[in-house]
Amino acid sequence: LGQEYPLTEDQISAYRRDGFIALEGVITGAELQAMRDAVAGAVEAEDREDLRPMDERSACEQLFIQKVNLWQRHEAVKPFVMARRFASIARRLAGVPAVRLWHDQGLFKKPHNGRATPWHQDVHYWPHQQMQHQLSMWLALKDATVENGCMSFVPGSQKFPDLEPIDLCEPKDLYKVAPQLKGVRARTCELKAGSCTFHHGLCFHYAGPNRSDQMREAFVVIYMPDGTTYSKLSHICTDGGGWQVGQPLTEPMFPLLGA
């Protein structure tokens, strides 16, 4: 995990043009197995503590099991969130001098969960005063397929920062929010376990329902440029932290990732 993942100039320009890129085998072999076991163990342990049946959970909670900042509670997950290899990909794609961790999340979709994750842009949910260089790694811990709810992206949609935010719990028609994207064909990214996509915080994305009989297991690590400042929007990762508007988001919650 200390080793760099090679990125070509073509891959970097494709990311900057499209707002996303799929990368094969960013983690493989025993490291992948260890990562999958650490994350799945953590997500499943935390989910087991939640005894509410599905129909008592909110619309958002019914979409997927979402466990945020596993690195803070699970030592076994931490090295994968801090990994130089992943952070260095993020830094090079974003083209910034240094990146910090914004947060991680285990996103598991239960078998036969008929709910799609609606089209949305991520940055509108985040209490950040900047929105140009945040990006998320969505890593498949198990193969991600159309059947089990892999991701799709609208190429070039990161160029539209001023659209109405879409509430994940109240899906809206993408083309009502963004009529300028009509006619742009979305691209669906099936991924082998250990492969990932990186997407820009403004790139529209969607994930299908899980129609398979296995859990869809994804792990997301979200990076922001060093110097990203707090905007006062309420967010689970900053609420109660005493952050002041304009203050740079820094240690210990948002560590600089030596990459």
Which residues bind to Ni ion, rule: CB under 5 A? 122
Least separation in angstroms between CB 222 and ligand SIN: 9
Q: What is the DSSP letter of 49?
A: T
Strand partners, 197: 22, 138
Q: Please tell me whether residue 107 binds ligand SIN under the rule CB under 6 A.
A: yes
Q: Please tell me whether residue 222 binds ligand SIN under the rule CB under 6 A.
A: no
Least separation in angstroms between CB 110 and ligand SIN: 12
User: Of 4 and 117, which CB lies nearer to Ni ion in the complex structure?
Assistant: 117
Q: Which amino acid is at 38?
A: A
Strand partners, 218: 107, 140
Least separation in angstroms between CB 111 and Ni ion: 21
> What SS3 string covers 209-234?
CECCCCCEEEEEEEEEECCCEECCCC
User: Of 31 and 190, which CB lies nearer to Ni ion in the complex structure?
Assistant: 190
Q: Please tell me whether residue 223 binds ligand SIN under the rule CB under 6 A.
A: no
Q: Please tell me whether residue 207 binds ligand SIN under the rule CB under 6 A.
A: yes
Q: Retrieve residue 258's tokens.
A: 């030596």
Least separation in angstroms between CB 207 and Ni ion: 8
User: Of 136 and 212, which CB lies nearer to ligand SIN in the complex structure?
Assistant: 136
Out of 218, 221, 237, 257, the residue judged to bind ligand SIN by CB under 6 A: 218
Q: Please tell me whether residue 189 binds ligand SIN under the rule CB under 6 A.
A: no
Least separation in angstroms between CB 244 and ligand SIN: 28
Q: Please tell me whether residue 88 binds ligand SIN under the rule CB under 6 A.
A: no
For the sheet with 205-207, list strands across it: 117-120, 205-207, 151-153, 187-189
Torsion sign, CA atoms 195, 201, 205, 211 = positive
Strand partners, 198: 21, 137
User: CB–CB of 194/85 below 8 Å?
Assistant: no
Q: Please tell me whether residue 64 binds ligand SIN under the rule CB under 6 A.
A: yes
In angstroms, how far is CA 150 from the centroid of its own chain? Answer: 12
C-beta neighbour count of 227 within 10 angstroms: 14
Q: Please tell me whether residue 193 binds ligand SIN under the rule CB under 6 A.
A: no
Least separation in angstroms between CB 109 and ligand SIN: 6
d(CA 175, CA 30): 43
- Which residues make up the interface to ligand SIN (CB under 6 A)? 64, 107, 117, 136, 138, 205, 207, 218, 220
